[in-house]
């Protein structure tokens, strides 16, 4: 039997996870975005109000750093009793990629692939429907 999560209108959480915690990883890039750190702080506050545990928040400047930080966030979630893990990517981008410094880009699909491979199987991968992904 499943129940609708009280934290969201559209998520269903299996009963064996109903007492689990929600975690978030906020990854922001300051490249051409001077207000990004403040926006990330506001997002962190909103997630705490919504019932998330203390969100991890990192600034990234290149694709390797971004992928390493995602790995750090996933490692932390693996050790916890987690029902929902939200990854918030804050960066400029276009056509399915995120921009980093020096013209470097990373594909959003590579991030989703990394998450799918590293997250425990009982944490579903949910993403918004978007024509750019």
pLDDT by residue (tens digit) across 48-58? 988 888 888 88
d(CA 27, CA 111): 12
Alpha carbon separation from 9 to 4, 12, 13, 19, 27 (Å, rounded): 8, 9, 11, 18, 24
Q: Which of 38-52, 74-88, 102-116 has the lowest mean pLDDT?
A: 74-88
State the Cα–Cα distance between residues 18 and 69, nearest whole angstrom: 27
Between the CA of residue 93 and those of 13, 55, 100, 132, what are the distances in Å?
A: 32, 23, 9, 10
Q: Taking the model in full, what pTM does it have?
A: 0.73
Q: What per-residue confidence (pLDDT) applies to 19?
A: 67
Query: Domains in the chain, please, with CATH?
Result: 17-118 (3.40.50.1460)
């Amino acid at each position: 039997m499943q129940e609708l999560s009280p934290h969201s209108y559209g998520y269903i959480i299996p009963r064996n996870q109903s007492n689990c915690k929600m975690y978030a990883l906020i990854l922001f890039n300051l490249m051409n975005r001077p207000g990004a750190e403040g926006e990330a702080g506001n997002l962190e506050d909103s997630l705490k109000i919504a019932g998330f545990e203390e969100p991890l928040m990192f600034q990234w400047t290149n694709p390797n750093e971004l992928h390493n930080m995602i790995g750090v966030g996933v490692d932390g979630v693996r050790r916890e009793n987690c029902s929902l893990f939200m990854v918030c990517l804050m960066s400029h981008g276009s056509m399915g990629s995120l921009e980093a410094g020096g013209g470097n880009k990373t594909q959003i699909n590579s991030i989703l692939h990394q998450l799918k491979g590293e997250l425990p199987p009982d944490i579903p991968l949910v993403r918004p429907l978007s024509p750019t992904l």
